[in-house]
Chain A
Amino acid sequence: AQSVTQPDIHITVSEGASLELRCNYSYGATPYLFWYVQSPGQGLQLLLKYFSGDTLVQGIKGFEAEFKRSQSSFNLRKPSVHWSDAAEYFCAVGAHSGNTGKLIFGQGTTLQVKP
């Protein structure tokens, strides 16, 4: 069965420091992978997505993620965190085949940014 694991429930980083949020997936084939961000009281906003091709994908707000098939990982990175990045981050996997937009989400990682 498809599943997504985000090992870190809560992460605290200082403003200006680099960030890496971990995501591991379980899927029978190469999955479609997504990172979403949710600010308090808001819905989910898509940061970036990976379907195929270059394994390093660039997203909005200065985020990037790298797909590593050998490690079944899709970690999210940002070189310098801003206070406004404090939010909850979700990794998700989508079906590679079939006509469905269904997403399976990880449990989320809450990012706190220290001044």
Chain B
Amino acid sequence: KAGVTQTPRYLIKTRGQQVTLSCSPISGHRSVSWYQQTPGQGLQFLFEYFSETQRNKGNFPGRFSGRQFSNSRSEMNVSTLELGDSALYLCASSLGRKSTDTQYFGPGTRLTVL
């Protein structure tokens, strides 16, 4: 079974632009979560989607948004990019949305904002 895939793997943008990242979960998984990883702040939870609905949201500004499609694929969008948005963005999928459902992580998208 294929793992979690994220596209693109690398992205370079300039301040003020917007960006869309994509995540395809493991087949059959219905929950997708997003995390931001930076050297200074570590791994921080962005949001969680299940059945096309945002179920949980981390403490990030409104510039960060996401959605989930009927096939469970998810996208996240960051508008008006800032230098501090440079990070590795990780997507994780799980069968359901219980804490006991194992989260499987993708390789991440490395976003660099110049």
Contact = CB atoms under 8 A, between A and B. Distances in A.
B48 A108 contact: no
B94 A101 contact: yes
A101 B97 contact: yes
Nearest to A44: B105
Given A99-B55, A99-B98, A43 B106 contact: yes
A60 B98 CA distance: 22
Interface stretch (A13-21, A62-70, A71-79, A89-97): A89-97
Interface residues of A, number: 27
A100 B100 CA distance: 9
A44 B90 contact: yes
A8 B43 CA distance: 16
A107 B39 CA distance: 9
Given A43-B4, A99-B97, A101-B98, A107 B42 contact: yes
A100 B103 CA distance: 11
Contact of B48 (A36, A41, A100): A100
B108 interface: yes
Contacts of B48: 100-102
Interface of A: 32, 36, 41-46, 49, 51, 90, 92, 94-108
Interface of B: 4, 31, 33, 35, 42-45, 48, 50, 55-56, 58, 90, 92, 94, 96-108
